[in-house]
Chains A and B, each alone.
Chain A
């Protein structure tokens, strides 16, 4: 079972360009589903999660949902400092329970102490590690007072931190150098700068060793080299790590003697803990629950840096939400039909794609069979799909579909697995309206539509159909004849030369000829250009929704005649998986 998908291409910070062909696996890194993409109006460009600049807007505990002030986060070591602990066995969040609950009461945080932590998932109890609490709130503080786990380690850590902190504050980070063109954000560039510094620093022990071996001259030189570097005193450890390993013998003995299964903690259980911890399962301690964040996302372009996402710390709403789904038409693939050829399909030589297509066109009356989208495709068959494009804008738009990697014909994509032909490369999509408006204003809608096309023709900002015979938009004569040829309309649906319109959705056909030796996924890239009316300098009364404000003045938009703009994006369509026909 293979799912069909349509992924959108994000060119990251590069000027708009198509994705690498689907044959190259590395192309997948810049393809995302439409709901995951952002759109920067200032740059007029698609942005994705990999390229946006990210800042932490707020911290919260996923268990008690407490908003932790960012000033406290560091002191709390990024974990919840209240009463949230995760189970050492199964990582569920632990519950506080009275050790001796009143008769019959199973779970209660009321009553009198002492209190225990109980795992609701696996029934682990903090009694196993000897943790009992006097009060039922503020367990982390109580714990820090009573069971400060390894005091030696903690004091060592604190003194090391103090040592480094003096250094950090002394050499306050200098502002980033001038050439900061490709660093996504100031925040990140600061981090990379720090990292680079750390990497270039000479390790004290190593320097001493090399000085000893290579003699005095080198040592002097290295000392000279270090002028201007951050000078740091050597850190004297307070204790020795050997002292911490007293009970290792006991632990080892126990592991050797005891039953193996379950006695040793699994890698998942010890993953987030210290390196030299106790390996016995029963010695694992509950951990405070790590905090989660809400993120602010910014446009990565160094000259732009506009906010794309700004969350509201109180609710799930976003204060600013610039997502691609509100700007780009949604592309979907569906309605698969298989062409059933009565005779032998392979009478036409395999090289001549165009001729075969024309041949098929002649015998248009051949049967087509609807198929389930999830069934595997068969090699050597011809399939018809429909591409549905949904207009998110409150204005009608013009669409032009072309092959993204223009090698041969603009409307025929040929790769190892299949030949894909875009049957209707030019068409329009009606404007998005409120759901109730569709039924009532059908006629008006139609009028709207004519208007756009007429003006489109007048300005000539759209290239006309390139002679495939089916691209009709912009040629009034052709359109008229088509209308005469009978556009079928019923029940809000409208069919006109392969374009099926309903509301703000237009569906067009795509022909996929799977080659006989095809294997794997049938994938192809399509370049989608859409032309919309930009309301620059135009007052719109019904702009209260805030969804659409196509005032982009940037790179992707072509300065068409009065108020028409074109935006180009690329999608990768996965039409399904080819599986060979089983021969009986």
Chain B
């Protein structure tokens, strides 16, 4: 699959490539980088915001955002840890994102857990498209949302707080609800697609 997929290019120097193959845009806002773990081969695109500085109220070092391999955070997407009052004090809780998770542009994610092979915001991983992508934002407004492995959150979905998204489900709407089931082959499909997108995400030197 994907025999005709075009290269996704960025201008050389606009992305920082790490030893483990992560590609992080220089224009992405990454705060509290020491609290963020990227598993490798993940792409953080321009304008994405990762709030690693919002850590637990208790003293000490805490991982705030952990992300697996072959993930993608789209343009303008905000990932921040969920927080709530606990025993009289406000505290943040970590965000765990597994492998093969694609979060489209302009999403707001405050989930507690996102399982492997989850796609958030369909169609929004077309990097070259200029217009129309802003309407495709997905809002996981809810804090502490748990998304299990293999799920699709359609563009523009709003998922309320503490919702559980089961495996193999498709969600849509405001408030989001289950609108369908994924085919049994979805795991292979999504893993192949995530790898392909990473491999096609290449630097070019502008002439």
CB atoms of A386 and B162 under 8 A apart? no
CB atoms of B162 and A316 under 8 A apart? no
CB atoms of B162 and A91 under 8 A apart? no
- From A90, A103, A107, A334, B3 is in contact (CB under 8 Å) with A334
- From A35, A64, A119, A388, B183 is in contact (CB under 8 Å) with A35
Residues of A within 8 A of B85 (CB): 104-106
- Contact A62 B166, CB 8 Å, known A104-B85, A120-B160, A325-B188: yes
- From B2, B88, B178, A102 is in contact (CB under 8 Å) with B88
- Contact A292 B166, CB 8 Å, known A121-B160, A332-B1: yes
The CA of A309 and the CA of B166, in the complex, are separated in Å by 19
How many interface residues does chain B have, given as a range?
20 to 34
Within 8 Å of chain A (Cβ to Cβ): is B142? yes
Residues of A within 8 A of B3 (CB): 332, 334, 388, 390, 505, 507
CB atoms of A316 and B164 under 8 A apart? no
The CA of A121 and the CA of B141, in the complex, are separated in Å by 9
- Contact A106 B189, CB 8 Å, known A121-B175, A332-B3, A388-B4: no
CB atoms of A90 and B166 under 8 A apart? no
- Contact A92 B175, CB 8 Å, known A106-B84, A323-B185, A334-B4: yes
The residues in B between 19 and 73 inclusive whose CB is less than 8 angstroms from any CB of A are none
Within 8 Å of chain B (Cβ to Cβ): is A207? no
CB atoms of A120 and B142 under 8 A apart? yes
Residues of B within 8 A of A333 (CB): 4
Within 8 Å of chain B (Cβ to Cβ): is A142? no
* Residue in chain A with minimal CB distance to B151: A316
The smallest C-beta distance from B75 to any residue of chain A, in angstroms, reads: 21
The CA of A317 and the CA of B185, in the complex, are separated in Å by 10
CB atoms of B177 and A91 under 8 A apart? yes
* Residue in chain B with minimal CB distance to A103: B88
CB atoms of B163 and A93 under 8 A apart? yes
A92, A325, A332: residue with the most chain B Cβ atoms closer than 10 Å: A92
The smallest C-beta distance from A432 to any residue of chain B, in angstroms, reads: 12
The CA of A360 and the CA of B125, in the complex, are separated in Å by 39
* Residue in chain B with minimal CB distance to A502: B3
Within 8 Å of chain A (Cβ to Cβ): is B167? yes
Within 8 Å of chain A (Cβ to Cβ): is B11? no
The CA of A304 and the CA of B123, in the complex, are separated in Å by 40
Within 8 Å of chain A (Cβ to Cβ): is B7? no
The smallest C-beta distance from A55 to any residue of chain B, in angstroms, reads: 15
CB atoms of A36 and B183 under 8 A apart? yes
* Residue in chain A with minimal CB distance to B158: A121
CB atoms of A62 and B169 under 8 A apart? yes
The CA of A120 and the CA of B85, in the complex, are separated in Å by 16
Residues of B within 8 A of A119 (CB): 160
CB atoms of B1 and A330 under 8 A apart? yes
| Chain B residues proximal to chain A, CB less than 8 Å | 1-4, 84-86, 88, 142, 148-150, 158, 160-164, 166-169, 175, 177-178, 183-189
